[in-house]
Structure formats: structure tokens, C-alpha cells
Amino acid sequence: MLKIERIGVSVDSDLLEQFDRQIEQKGYANRSQAIGDLIREHLAEEQLKNPASEAVAGIFLVYDHHTTGLNRKLNEMQHNQFLHVIASTHIHLDHHNCLEVIILKGKSGQIKKLADSLACVKGVKNSRVNLMSHHQSGSE
Amino acid sequence: MLKIERIGVSVDSDLLEQFDRQIEQKGYANRSQAIGDLIREHLAEEQLKNPASEAVAGIFLVYDHHTTGLNRKLNEMQHNQFLHVIASTHIHLDHHNCLEVIILKGKSGQIKKLADSLACVKGVKNSRVNLMSHHQSGSE
Amino acid sequence: MLKIERIGVSVDSDLLEQFDRQIEQKGYANRSQAIGDLIREHLAEEQLKNPASEAVAGIFLVYDHHTTGLNRKLNEMQHNQFLHVIASTHIHLDHHNCLEVIILKGKSGQIKKLADSLACVKGVKNSRVNLMSHHQSGSE
Amino acid sequence: MLKIERIGVSVDSDLLEQFDRQIEQKGYANRSQAIGDLIREHLAEEQLKNPASEAVAGIFLVYDHHTTGLNRKLNEMQHNQFLHVIASTHIHLDHHNCLEVIILKGKSGQIKKLADSLACVKGVKNSRVNLMSHHQSGSE
């Protein structure tokens, strides 16, 4: 069950006026929601700095169809005891290129290390890793 | 067909020594591959600064199962003439939370705007957008 | 004169508990102050995305003592009608290297352009630009 | 004395063409210089991830003239054995606000901790820390 607490916050009027304008423009329903998002975002960033923190991540790889070393690396990954692959999606971008999106859970440090090693595989042209703190978002 | 060019580059010896150590540690096969990746990465970042540049993106949303406004927004998105959703993956994270990964193509400015508007939907706890320059990776 | 407003915010209890722990650890006096900082930071980031927004910036340059092209560029900069240099500090780092810290005001887009052009000067080894929204911080 | 080494690099022709266009636009004299900067930048970023690495940093603080707690913190800082303040510049921004730019050397982890603690002082409205790897730039 979701427990909500009501707190009082003192904010400078000028700052508040600017903030209200911006959240309206972005489409937030109210201040509580926007401030909740700022807090959550901030906590998640702090947490992900710790390599031992649990994270959900997406690894994006754009690579050449003919890349042979990648499948082997991806297979090894399945046997990494610190990482758990949840899903992966393979997309045909154009005649030359594929996009692989791998969604996984594990320690943020381990995930970054894996992403680094995938980025080095010959034929991988572009790689990104996207970390989200899992625990923080465990309850709203 | 992939055309490779051989160029000569003058680099400070100390810098080169440190670079060699680091690319070996990361697992690169050779300098050409590592330098190619640095160039590609740099060009992609420059390109994505332009809101009119074409990008492939992943939008990650962690949200509460009971979020009702999200589906409506996601549906609207399908009718956005500037964006083309390629695939989306829905993952059950735990009792409370889902992860939706939406992979799409479009102008980077439009994608950021969409990601902003999804982040504001009540019940969306965490959101990330991951942009990759598509054109740059069109050939290696 | 500083006007403070008191607002009520509804936040999830779990999230609040984590936030309280973190702000205590960081050394904030109270929630209002920490939330005020999150809001200010967020507004500043949004504002700086607009190249026409006014900013205060620090440009850091580490360069070789014998760099000859830099002084010329720095002089040109004084005549840029869109930028106003407030102060600059020159530091002798070691036998080979200087650090120049230039503090200036101007449109954020113009400042980035200048920083880019200084980074390219032969002998400049490292450069960073640090933008802060001036207006936002105009009153607390 | 500066030692330069000449290396051969194989790069995809398309990528090279785009890169050449971009470095010309930015104002680089040649490829060697631009690639040297990419390598240096990359090494510096990797190095700064290690909290024990030596860095030169600038801490920027925008604060209210009447902030009383800041001077005390700044004094304490002088007695921190891990940090060495090289210079600091005080700027009068407007009727309400000052900018303090503190340039210091030390371990990157220690510098970040200090910057965090300064950001929390009541009256500090905006703070930024800018880390540059010192060692990397020690010779070009």
C-alpha cells in the first residue's frame, strides 16, 4: 500500500513562480508530483554512483550485421552470476545495421563493466548504457 | 561496401602510452578501432545537439501498474507524424512496478519532447531517454 | 527583500525517509533548503538549454606555457559584443603547464561557441566550460 | 622535452569525411591535434572516475552576500590536509549575489565531497564543481 505524507516546505516566492510556470509547461498535474520526481531523480543518481547498488539497465548496441564476436560475448554474459538478463530486442535498422536492446538487472558497477566490454567488440559502432535505480522506484 | 582509409597521426608519446594501456584493459583489438570509436562517439554527440537530427532512441519508463494516463499518452504517440515507434517491450519488475522500453526513430528534438511529456504522467516514477545518432552509425 | 512562501507537498513516505537520510548525510539544515536547491538546479538546467539565456560562466584552460595562439584568441574575445569578461586568473601548475580561469557573462550559446574555439587552439590540452544560470540565482 | 610519435590509423572513409568537416568547422589546424584532444579527454574522464586520482578543480558558488556560514566552511577547508587551495576569486554579481571561484588541487573524491558540503550551506544558491585531470595534462 502506498503511504503519502504531507509536509510543509518554505520556498522563495520568485523561485516558486518560475517553477510553477515550468511544471505547467511540462504538463505536471501539481507541485507535489513534480517535487516528488525531483527527489526521486536525485536519490537515484546518488545511489547509482555506488557500484554495488542494484540497478535495472538497458544496453543499446548499434552493430554491423556481420559482427561475429558479439554473439559470443552476449552468450558469456548469460553466465555472469552478477547479472540477470530480463529481455532483449533485436531490430533491423537498415541494410547494414542492427540495434540490440538488452534489458538486465544487476549491480551498477557490473553493468557498466559489461557495457564497456560490449562497446569494444569489433563491429559495434555505437553503444549506450542506461542505468535506473531499481530500489528507489520500488514504491511510490 | 566498407571503405577503409589509412591515415597518419602525430601523438605525444606519453599520451599514447597511457592510451595503449587503457584500450588493452578495456579489451580493444587495436588503436584504429579505439580511435574510430572516439571519433564516432564525438560526431554523434555533436549531431544530437541539433534538434532536427535523426536519431534512434530508447525511452525507459518505470511506472506503477495502475497508472491509467500512460496508455492514452502512448497511444497518442503512435499518431505523431514525426516519430516512428519500432518496438516496445513491457517488463514486470515486481509487485508494484513495470518497465516499458519504447524504441523509436525520429528527430532528436521531438523525441526529447515526448520523453518529457511521458515523465510527467502520474504514476511514472523514473524515466530516461537514450538518443543515438542513426546516420553516423549508418556505415563503418 | 526576500519573500518566502510556505507550501504543502504530498510525498510518498518511503521516498521521504530516504531523502531525509540523504540530506542529513550531506549536511543540509532542513528539507526546505534541500528542496529549494533541487528546484533551483532544475530550473537552471532547463534555462541553460536555451542558447539565448543569460549565464555566468567559468572557462578553464590547461595549456602549454609556449602556446602562442591563445593570447590572440583571448584578446579577440574582449571585443566580442555578446560577452563580458569579469575576471581572469592565471595559475602556474607546473614546469610545463598553466591554468587560465576566465569568468564571464553572456548568452549561453555564445559562451559555448567561444569555449569550443579556445579548446582548438594548439597547445590547449584540456578545457572545460561551466555554465550557471545567472537570472535564477538573482534572488533566493 | 615533448616527444611526438607518428602512428598509422585505419578509419572508415565516411566517418573520416564527416570528422574532417567537423574539425574544420571547429577550427582545428589538423587531424592529429583533434584526435590528440579526443584521446586526452577520454583518458581524463576515465581517470576522474577514480576518487583517488589527482585533479585540479574549480568550485563555483553563487551565494547571498549575507551568507554567514560560508566563510567558516571556507576556512575549515584551508586546514584539510587532502586539499590545496591555489587561488580564489570573489566577484560581485549584483546587489544580492556574489560568485566565489575557488581553484584547488587534490584527490577528486575529496574535492567532490567538499563541493557537496559547500552546496549545502544556507545562502548558497548555485554551485558547480569542475574537475580536470592534472596528470594527463602534465605533458603534451
Contact flag A7-C8 (C-beta cutoff 8 Å): yes
What's the pLDDT band for D138 if we cut at 50, 70, 90? very low
Query: Grid coordinates in use for C67?
Result: 602556446
Contact flag C26-D136 (C-beta cutoff 8 Å): no
Of the candidates C12, C18, C39, the beta carbon closest to that of A19 is on C39
| Residue D43 predicted with pLDDT over 60 | yes
Contact flag A138-B96 (C-beta cutoff 8 Å): yes
Residues of chain B neighbouring A116 (CB-CB closer than 8 A): 26-27
What's the pLDDT band for D84 if we cut at 50, 70, 90? confident
Of the candidates C56, C103, C116, the beta carbon closest to that of D26 is on C116
Q: What is the percent of chain D with per-residue pLDDT over 90, rounded to a whole number?
A: 29
User: Which CATH fold topology does B54-138 show?
Assistant: Alpha-Beta Plaits (3.30.70)
Closest chain A CA to residue B64: A140
Min Cα separation C136/chain A (Å)? 7
| Residue D1 predicted with pLDDT over 70 | no
Q: Measured in Å, how far apart are chain B's first and last C-alpha atoms?
A: 9
Mean pLDDT across the stretch C74-80? Answer: 75
As a whole number of angstroms, the distance between CA D123 and CA A52 comes to 34
Residues of chain B neighbouring D140 (CB-CB closer than 8 A): 12, 15
Query: Are the beta carbons of B119 and B100 closer than 8 angstroms?
Result: no
Domain boundaries, chain B: 13-48, 54-138
Please, how many CA atoms are within 13 Å of residue A75, restricted to the half-sphere of its CB? 5
Listed residue (C76, C85, C29, C78) closest to C56, CA to CA: C85
Residue type, D122: K
Contact flag C125-D40 (C-beta cutoff 8 Å): yes
Q: What is the ipTM of this complex?
A: 0.80
pLDDT in tens, C2-52: 688 999 999 989 889 999 999 998 888 899 999 999 998 889 888 888 888
What's the pLDDT band for D93 if we cut at 50, 70, 90? confident
| Residue A137 predicted with pLDDT over 80 | no
| Residue A91 predicted with pLDDT over 80 | yes
Contact flag B12-D36 (C-beta cutoff 8 Å): yes
As a whole number of angstroms, the distance between CA C132 and CA C127 comes to 17
pLDDT in tens, D95-120: 888 899 999 999 999 999 889 888 88
- Chains touching B (at least 3 CB pairs under 8 A) are A, D
Cβ neighbours for B66, distance < 8 A, ≥ 6 positions apart: B123
